[in-house]
């Protein structure tokens, strides 16, 4: 399969008041076209830092990052980000939030009608066509996150980057959105990297689960391939041995090998 993202020997340090802080070291990872990869690890291990590096929001202090044959030199709409707190602009309606993204990506090539159609389609994809005139503070947390996903997908990105997208939601809403995300990625064939701290979520959604060691100076500890056939159904999976096996492997890594001493 075609390699979309290549991360080679990437390290990230930050200058702080107390000196240099090494967040990540020796990260080597390749992500294939159409793959769903989860980044999992204890809080503070640098999962989000790695995602921000792929997004180009921060640049690595060492190593090389390549997306689709080009070095990642900054953020861009080919790598759409779904932020943890959805980051919808509160003064724009759901429609306008997405339209802003669509316009900035396709505005030069396409007319207004086409741009509006794209916006409608994106909202339709997350089943929120009825809420397009609503402002973000008028809809629920789950709906906001769906608008955030729609905004990212509307840009037709090469890769979808999600930073704990469902972290702030209750368990039922979260399950519904996970199912929806599975449907959407299956329909669009989107390549996805998702940061999570939820083991079940990682196994259910991913083709591969990348496990990070504890920070500081975190790196990739293990990579687990989840060989479950798609489409996956959360109710049936509970009884599949491979699901239990994958779950156990991640739990073993997180709670035996990487148990946080302080926690």
Partner 1 sequence: MPPALNPNPTAEPVPVARPTDRPTHLAVVRDARPAKDWRIPMNNIARKVLPPLLGLLVLVAIWHLATMRGGSIPGPLQTWNEAVRLFADPFYQNGPNDQGIGWNILSSLKRVGIGFGLAAAVGIPLGFIIGRFQFTAGMLNPLISLLRPVSPLAWLPIGLLVFKKADPAATWTIFICSIWPMILNTAEGVRRVPQDYLNVARVLRLSEAKVFSKILFPAVLPYLLTGVRLSIGTAWLVIVAAEMLTGGVGIGFWVWDEWNNLKVESIIIAIFVIGIVGLMLEQTLLLIARRFTHENV
Give residues in contact with partner 1 (CB under 8 A): 55, 57, 74-77, 79-81, 83, 85, 87-92, 100-101, 104-105, 136-137, 144, 155
Instruction: Name which of 135 and 249 has its Cβ closer to partner 1.
Output: 135
Cβ at position 103, least distance to partner 1 in Å: 9
Instruction: Find all residues with CB under 8 Å of 38, minimum gap 6, and list them.
Output: 193, 194, 195, 196, 201, 202, 205, 206, 208, 209, 210
Cβ at position 173, least distance to partner 1 in Å: 16
Cβ at position 89, least distance to partner 1 in Å: 6
Strand pairing report for 36-40 and 70-71: unpaired
Instruction: Name which of 91 and 239 has its Cβ closer to partner 1.
Output: 91
Measured CA to CA in angstroms, residue 75 lies from 23, 72, 84, 157 at distances of 20, 8, 17, 12
Instruction: Name which of 51 and 202 has its Cβ closer to partner 1.
Output: 51
Instruction: Find all residues with CB under 8 Å of 53, minimum gap 6, and list them.
Output: 7, 10, 12, 24, 59, 60, 65, 72
What is the strand order of the sheet 208-212 is part of? 79-82, 159-163, 191-196, 36-40, 208-212, 220-225
Instruction: Name which of 105 and 123 has its Cβ closer to partner 1.
Output: 105
Cβ at position 100, least distance to partner 1 in Å: 6
Instruction: Name which of 105 and 128 has its Cβ closer to partner 1.
Output: 105
Residue whose structure tokens are 């890769």: 159
CB 4 within 8 A of CB 191: yes
Q: Which residues pair with 237 in a beta bridge?
A: none
Cβ at position 102, least distance to partner 1 in Å: 10
Cβ at position 223, least distance to partner 1 in Å: 27
Instruction: Name which of 138 and 236 has its Cβ closer to partner 1.
Output: 138
CA 2 to chain centre: 20
């Amino acid at each position: 399969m075609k390699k979309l993202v290549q991360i080679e020997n990437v390290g990230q340090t930050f200058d702080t008041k107390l000196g240099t802080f090494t967040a990540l070291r020796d990260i080597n990872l390749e992500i294939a076209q159409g793959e769903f990869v989860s980044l999992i690890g204890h809080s503070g291990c640098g999962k989000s830092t790695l995602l921000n590096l792929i997004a180009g929001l921060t640049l690595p202090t060492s190593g090389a990052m390549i997306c689709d044959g080009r070095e990642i030199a900054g953020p861009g709409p080919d790598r759409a980000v779904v932020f943890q707190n959805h980051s919808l602009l509160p003064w724009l309606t759901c429609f306008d939030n997405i339209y802003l993204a669509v316009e900035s990506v396709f505005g030069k090539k396409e007319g207004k009608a086409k741009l509006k159609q794209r916006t409608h389609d994106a909202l339709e994809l997350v089943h929120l066509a009825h809420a397009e005139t609503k402002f973000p503070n008028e809809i629920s947390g789950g709906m906001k996150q769906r608008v955030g996903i729609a905004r990212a997908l509307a840009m037709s990105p090469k890769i979808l980057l999600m930073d704990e997208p469902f972290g702030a939601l209750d368990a039922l809403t979260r399950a519904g959105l996970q199912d929806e995300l599975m449907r959407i990625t299956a329909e669009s064939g989107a390549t996805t990297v998702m940061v999570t701290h939820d083991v079940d979520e990682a196994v259910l959604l991913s083709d591969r689960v990348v496990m990070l060691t504890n920070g500081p100076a975190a790196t990739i500890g293990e990579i687990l391939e989840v060989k479950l056939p798609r489409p996956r159904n959360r109710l049936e999976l509970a009884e599949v041995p491979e699901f239990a096996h994958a779950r156990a492997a991640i739990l073993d890594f997180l709670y035996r090998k990487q148990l946080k001493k302080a926690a």
